[in-house]
A = this chain, B = another copy of it.
């Protein structure tokens, strides 16, 4: 801790994303004057470490936010609904990693590489998009800037860590049971609070979050609606199919997109991705170079490969987008928003 810098609060500090946030703040040498770690009553009292110093986790209450400059929330939608307004009331800027405020007209939904200017319009709360949306828009934005964008169709290959630490445990214990020739009793995935649960080990489940009336899941609708909001393109045609896989961390996406510009080649698209902020182009079929979830874990970038032109549609292209869903998909994007708030002097040192 330094005598200069900001007072940062972390809500949900003991969770999977909270832990990654703490680690990311440390790695980034975030200018922290005071660090308040908050959680539910159940986890309060636990000791976590930040740069070697012990920090005791406290129960999150309205008063916890007195004097806080930036509060990073990642403790579920209901906690955000309850406590984010309390933090704002006390002068904090909230970066919320839940879906609670994402589609709220008064809340900017931000991926810094895409729409950091939206941060200027905040009213206290800034929403961090859904993990699968973030990596896709980060890859699409540099293409859109040069060539426009008309249509996106994405099929996802999502890791279990997106469903929390218990889902990771369920995947590994099911896997070991099946290898031992034992029966398994799924209890959590695809959605803990839904009626039925299915085996994730050695399987693929085409359901992430609950079904909506239109037959799409909530995860699919998040990708559709958040993409339009972040890119400021209500007219953009977006469709998603979201699938859970037996992968611990790292979401992959097969993305088909159509640009406005005619006559482009795959090399044109790759040229834009190569120099894009936060994006790493890993694309060399001759050397079998393409991104994979097992290789992206612990990395902050969005990896793109398999870029190729559609064989029938002149403006159509395909690509394969992979990123660590706990980092760029959650913790890193939130910390990056906090860094950008400071850089842009939207939050100033007191």
Contact = CB atoms under 8 A, between A and B. Distances in A.
Contacts of A196: 287-288
Interface residues of A, number: 59
Contacts of A147: none
A342 interface: no
B206 A248 contact: no
Given A203-B247, A254-B243, A285-B211, A198 B308 contact: no
Contact of A194 (B157, B207, B254, B288): B288
A188 B291 CA distance: 18
Contacts of A238: 311-312
Contacts of A199: 294
A220 to B, nearest CB: 9
Contact of A195 (B195, B287, B313): B287
Given A224-B311, A246-B246, A252-B204, A241 B288 contact: no
A239 B206 contact: no
Contacts of A239: 256, 310-312, 316, 318
A206 B290 contact: yes
Contact of A204 (B216, B292, B312): B292
Contacts of A163: none
Given A202-B247, A237-B312, A239-B318, A215 B179 contact: no
A338 interface: no
29 contacts: A151-B312, A155-B155, A155-B254, A172-B179, A175-B175, A179-B179, A202-B248, A202-B294, A204-B247, A204-B293, A206-B305, A211-B288, A215-B308, A215-B309, A216-B308, A216-B311, A237-B310, A237-B311, A237-B312, A239-B256, A239-B311, A239-B312, A239-B316, A241-B254, A241-B306, A241-B320, A243-B254, A245-B246, A246-B247
In the A-B complex, the 8 residue pairs with the smallest Cβ-Cβ separation, listed nearest first, are A215-B308, A237-B312, A155-B155, A155-B254, A211-B285, A203-B294, A241-B254, A196-B288
